[in-house]
Structures are given as structure tokens and as C-alpha cells.
Structure 1
Amino acid sequence: MAFTHIWNQLYLYRQKITLAGLLALALLGSHTASAQQKIRVMNKPEYDYRPVHYGFYLSVPLTRYNVQHSQAYADQLADGNDDAVNAKSDLGFYTGLVLNVRLAEYLDARFVPGVGFYGRTLVFSNVETTSLETEPSMKETVSNTMIELPLLLKYKSKRRSNFRPYLVAGIKASLDLGKGNNGKTQEEIALQVDDYDLALEYGIGLDIFYPYFKFAPELRFSHGLVNVHKPVSGSTYSGYIQKLTNHNVSLIFFFE
């Protein structure tokens, strides 16, 4: 009986129910179309066709020395000594400008000069000092203010809406403008490095297009190609090192 009553009520108001249903479908369809239109709107659609564009970047690198030990280090280990020389990772900071030149549809050349501030540390354990006293552990940090001149190629994928992943690779030349040993005297210096460096760089990033600019987070790896170690006469610390190269892992934020 109750079911019959409900059916009769629906039959009496079928026109109103049908109209309300059609109105709801129309509103839902309008909302979906509007959402799809927003998704399909491409910010800065002509951006990729510019022959040249500019920008700037900020970066936080995790930096360290890669240590190749000397024969003297291997000999003392063979003699049963436990002297050790190990690298420690440190955070740095660098910033600079972007000059991007379009070479082809999916290929750009990028010159991204900047200035970097680094402090790379070696930890020496159980090494005799110049006073012939053995210290359990000592850190030697070399601070650098570097002018960096990366020249890179950027290979871009096809743009999808407002996103586009890319790969980047190239070389970076660097020049140290600071006093790498913080003004220490020659007798106090346990570690010295060259003022010049050359590194191989490669990484991956994602271009994100906004209405007024392009933002791109990038993860880049840098491997030094040059031995920056300068032997220090009379230093046991320096004698244990055959080769030092700079290595960075950087998170970079581009604004173009």
C-alpha cells in the first residue's frame, strides 16, 4: 500500500521531478565543461617559440670532496695504523642568471653564470700534528666563493598542458675568488686547493608554466674533472691525499 502511494506521488509530480533532474544535469555538465576548459587553458602558449629568454635561479647544493688516497695512506694502513682521511658533506648556496637560446623545437642552449658559496670539509682521525701530538679527530674546512660558468644543453619533452619535463647536461668552469683557507698562515694550513675547477654536470627538471612566468625545479649533479689538491710541504694531512675532486648534488629553482 505504501509503495502504491509513493508511486502515485511520483506520477503526480513527474514533470517537476523531470525538470529538476534535467536542470541538475545541465548544471553538472556546465561545471564539467568549465573545469575542462580551465585544464585546457595553456599559460604563455608562445613561450617556446621565443629565440631568447632570460631569468634567474636560486640553489641549495649538498657538496663534498671525493678523496683519492695516496700511497703513503695505504702504507700506514698496511703497518697497522688507523689514521683516516674522510670527506664530510656540507650545504652551500649559489645564485645566478639565465640566458636561454632556442636551437630547435626540443633543444635549447643555456648559459647560467652565478656565484656560489661553499664550505667543503675533510675529517682527519689519529693523524700526527706538526707538534708530534696525535689528535683523535680534526676537521679542515676549505671555504670557497666561486664564480661559476655552466654551459648546458637542455633537451625538452613535448609540452603537456602547463607541464614539461626535461633533461640537461654540460660543463661548468669555476674560479675561486675567496681565500680558501680563511687567512691561515702557511704553518697552520693542513689542506690547500686550486683556484680553478672544471666539472661535468647533468640533471632532470620540470618546467611549470604560470600566467606571468615559468617556474622550474631542477635536480642537478656535478662531478669535478680536475684534481684540485695542492700538496702542502710538511703536512701529514696533505701527504695522505693523492687527488681531490668537487662533487655537488643541487636542488635549483629557476624563474624565467
Structure 2
Amino acid sequence: MKQFVVYLFFCLCSISYGQTEKISRLQSFDNRPIRYGFYLGLHTKGYAIESSPDVILSSGAGFHLGVLADLKASDFVSFLTEPGIISSTNSLTFDGEKTEVPATYFHLPVSIKLSTRRLNNVRGFVIGGVSYNYNFTANKNNNDNGANPRDFELKQHTLMGEIGIGASFYFPYFKFSPSIRGIYGFQNEFIGLGTIAKANISELRTRGVFLTLTFQ
């Protein structure tokens, strides 16, 4: 899945670049102090895990979508906030049984974007920042508050970092910006409640690769 996301990203960039013209489009767009838009995308998301040797973690594919506000600081620097929803499902196999681990987050990143000089209708950028995340499904696998030996939870409130690269393509009526980003959780999200869960798993930290398509 990770290879597919990377391949799709570069295909989109190649197709978009091939369709751009040398006539400059949306010349004054980046002069606006605040730009708004929306985004959607696909991702593969899993966890860095510390566990007993027989635990198997399967990464899951998912989707994300949201809106954005882009605040201009200079010709090459801007600050973004991109509130949205991230949803995916992983699976954990421990003690011989498979358990689905859904994760649906309210995702609120604050990022800095560094852009290159515009060449015709294309402009590259790098982006990095931190995000606050609220997990709506944190209690999905807590059935008996620890009385069940397989009970566990995920933390509801987490911080994550992200870094990525992308390019903006200027079309007659909108700016299209595909990017590929790496997401990593700063915190251990796993809370073992039952005896088997605590004995088999000690840490889960979010890791993911995100393909994001932004329209402004």
C-alpha cells in the first residue's frame, strides 16, 4: 500500500505537469493574505509496536478529508491549519486471536510550508508541523473495563508530527496541490487493561504515509 501511495503521487504530478501551459494562470492567487480550500486523500497507517514476539500487527488503508486555511507570511513562507477527519483500521493478533483496531481521529495540524519560486504554473514545497488528534474510537476494544483479559484502550488525546513534500499546479480556476507526507505519533497510545493485553503489548505509536490532494 505504501508503494502504491508513492506511485500514485508521482503519477499525478507527472500528469498535471504535462498538462500545464506556459501561460501564467492565477497570477495574483498567492498574493492573498489568507487562502482557503479543502483536501482529501488516501493513506496507509499502522503503529510502531513493542510487544511479545508472537504479536502480529497489520497496517491498514484508510482515507482522510478536511478543510484548510493558508496564512501568507512572505512570498515563500506560509502557515497552515488543516482540520479534518482521519479514518483507518488495523488488526492485532495476540494470544492466538485477531482483534480489529479501528481509529477515527479528529485531526488538527498546524504546519509551516516553505515554497520554491514559481516556474510557469508549477511551484514545489515542503511542509512540516505538529497536530492534535482526538480518537473517537479509543474505547472500541474495552468491553469489560479490564475484566476481560483482552481488554485495552487507545489514548483519546495524542500529538503527532508530520513532514512532507509536494507541488502546486495552477489551473485557470483553482490551484491543485498533491503532497505525500509521513505521520508519526509522539506518544504511546496503548493502554492495556486486561491481563493478556498488558502481558503481550506495551507500546503502540502511530506511523503512516499519506497522499493528500488539496484544492484551493
Q: Calculate the TM-score normalised by the size of structure 2.
A: 0.84
Matches within 5 A, 1:139-154: 139-154=98-113
1:146, CA displacement in angstroms?
1.0
Q: What aligned pairs does 1:53-202 form with structure 2 within 5 A after superposition? A: 53-69=35-51, 73=52, 84-124=54-94, 127=95, 135=96, 138-178=97-137, 180-181=139-140, 184-186=143-145, 187=148, 189-202=150-163
Q: Give the Å deviation of 1:178.
A: 3.2
Matched, 1:246 2:206: yes
Q: Distance in 1 between matches of 2:22 and 2:151?
A: 61
Give the residue type in structure 2 aligned to 1:247.
Answer: R
Unaligned runs of 5+ in 1: 1-37, 74-82, 128-134
- From 27, 48, 69, the equivalent of 1:45 is 27
**Cα distance in 2 for residues equivalent to 1:183 and 1:239:** 16
Equivalent-residue separation in structure 2 for 1:153 and 1:248 (angstroms)? 19
Query: Share of identical aligned residues, percent?
Result: 25
Distance of 1:179 and 1:195 partners within structure 2: 6
**1:68 CA displacement:** 1.6
Query: SS of 1:48's equivalent?
Result: helix
**Bigger helix fraction:** 1
CA contact 1:149–1:174 (8 Å) conserved in 2? yes
Task: Please give the per-residue CA displacement for 1:92-131, whole angstroms capped at 9, x wherever unaligned.
Answer: 111100100001110010000001212122222xx2xxxx
Letter in 2 for 1:53: R
Q: 1:157 to 1:86 in 2, by over 3 A?
A: same
Name whichever structure is richer in strand by fraction.
Answer: 2
Given residue 148 of structure 1, which amino acid in structure 2 is its aligned partner?
H
Q: Aligned partners of 1:179, 1:197: CA distance in 2, in Å?
A: 11
TM-score normalised to structure 1 length? 0.71
1:87 deviates by 1.8
User: How many residues get paired?
Assistant: 195
Compare relative contact order (CA 8 Å, sep 6+) and give the higher one, 1 or 2: 2
What SS does the aligned partner of 1:104 have? coil
Contact 2:150 2:194 in 1 (8 A): no
Q: In structure 2, what is the equivalent of residue 228 of structure 1? A: 189
Q: What are structure 2's unaligned runs of at least 5 residues?
A: 1-19
Q: Tell me the alpha carbon deviations over residues 117-151 of structure 1, each in whole angstroms, 9 at most, x when there is no partner.
A: 12122222xx2xxxxxxx3xx22222122111000
Coordinate RMSD, CA, aligned? 1.8
CA pair 171-62 structure 1, distance change in 2 beyond 3 A: same
Secondary structure in structure 2 of the residue aligned to 1:43 = coil
Larger Rg: 1
Question: Retained in 1: the 8 A contact 2:162–2:184?
Answer: yes
